[in-house]
A and B are shown apart, each in its own frame.
Chain A
Amino acid sequence: MSIRYADVEEGHELPALTATITRADLVRYAGASGDFNPIHWNERFAKEVGLPDVIGHGMLTMALAGRLVTSWTGDPGAVVDYGVRFTRPVVVPDDDKGAEVEVTGKVTAKLENNTVKVMIQASSGGLKVLAKAQAIVRLS
């Protein structure tokens, strides 16, 4: 399960993942995270503040995108730095299908102390939802 620094080249692509976010997922994440902002579960409120519909928590998108890296390394403790910019909300319709988030990423640099930089791309409905998403990961 462990990825060795010596075996990784710049340009290495991580296995892509697709995550689904339904309204139920938003409720579950609200409870787990403590973020009860009504834009993430109350359609009436979301529309009152000018959103098209309920939107997902940016931090949930960040967490889903982070799974790309933790699934690759096997050890989530290997992530020493993880940052994203939220460019566009993930709109989550009130149906059973929800919204899909597609996540890809690749190693863009080998750094010191057995660390590598991974740049992550995340999109929903063909539109980028994260920018400047990158993780610094310590490999064995």
Chain B
Amino acid sequence: MALDESFIGRTYPPEPIYEVSREKIREFAVAIGDDNPLYRDAEAARGAGYRDVIAPPTFAMIISLTATNAVTHDPELGLDYSKVVHGDQQFIHHRPMVAGDRLIGQVTIDDIQSRAGNDMLTVRGEITTEAGERVCTSIGLMVARGTA
């Protein structure tokens, strides 16, 4: 059964604060095999004009994944998560994430479509500071194969 299109535009409650730490950035940088000093060396990062070490461009997925799970596991929406694959992903960085940032992710369902038997769900995550400064916008297309 196709997903209920009345969920388009629905915004989910904000996630708890995520604090960006030097160690998590280092761990993520190791996992993606990137030895850039701006991820590990606070002095080098300050030399490049940042307050502290910065996060890799796809680090934002840690926050957007948790926030997106609120949608993909929403029993009211009823998506069959075992059939979900990631179709597209985009990160728009309003500024780099920096160690020490305290961030809040909040997702909105921007679109629902049924195409070729698949349910296609566009989920936008807005990641902001506690003060409301926009840091990153994450736009992901989740595809549930054969569920529509």
Distance A73 CA – B32 CA, assembled complex (angstroms): 17
Taking a contact as CB atoms under 8 Å apart, the answer to whether B65 and A33 are in contact is yes
Q: B91: which of A35, A67, A83 is its contact (CB, 8 Å)? A: A83
A39 → B minimal CB distance (Å): 9
**Residue pair A34, B85 in contact (C-beta under 8 Å):** no
Main secondary structure of the interface of A (DSSP, over half): helix
Inter-chain contacts of B132 with A (CB < 8 A): none
Residues of B at under 8 Å CB distance from A? Answer: 24, 27-28, 30-34, 36, 38-39, 48, 50, 54-58, 61-62, 65-66, 82-83, 85-93, 95-96, 139
Partner of A81, one of B58, B92, B96: B92
Q: Evaluate contact between B33 and A19: CB separation under 8 angstroms.
A: yes
Cα distance A46–B89 when bound, in Å? 22
A58 to B90, CA, bound (A): 12
CB neighbours (8 Å) of A83 from chain B are 88-91, 139
Complex CA distance for A62 and B32, rounded to whole angstroms: 10
Shortest distance in angstroms between A94's beta carbon and chain B's nearest beta carbon?
19
Contact A63 B90 (CB under 8 A): no
Contact of B36 among A35, A71, A80 (CB under 8 A): A71
Give the residues in chain A near B88, CB-CB below 8 Å: 83-86, 132
How many A-B Cβ pairs are below 8 Å?
108
- Can you spell out 20 A-B residue pairs with CB atoms less than 8 angstroms apart? A19-B33, A28-B30, A29-B31, A32-B27, A33-B31, A63-B56, A64-B32, A67-B34, A70-B56, A74-B36, A76-B39, A76-B56, A77-B54, A79-B57, A82-B57, A82-B91, A83-B90, A84-B89, A86-B87, A86-B89
Is A100 in contact with chain B by the CB < 8 A criterion?
Answer: no
Number of interface residues of A (CB under 8 A): 35
Q: Which of B31, B82, B95 has the most CB of A within 10 A?
A: B31
Shortest 4 CB-CB contacts between residues of A and residues of B = A83-B90, A77-B96, A32-B31, A63-B32
A75 CB contact (under 8 Å) in B48, B62, B91, B93 = B48
- 123-138 of chain A: CB within 8 A of chain B: 132, 135
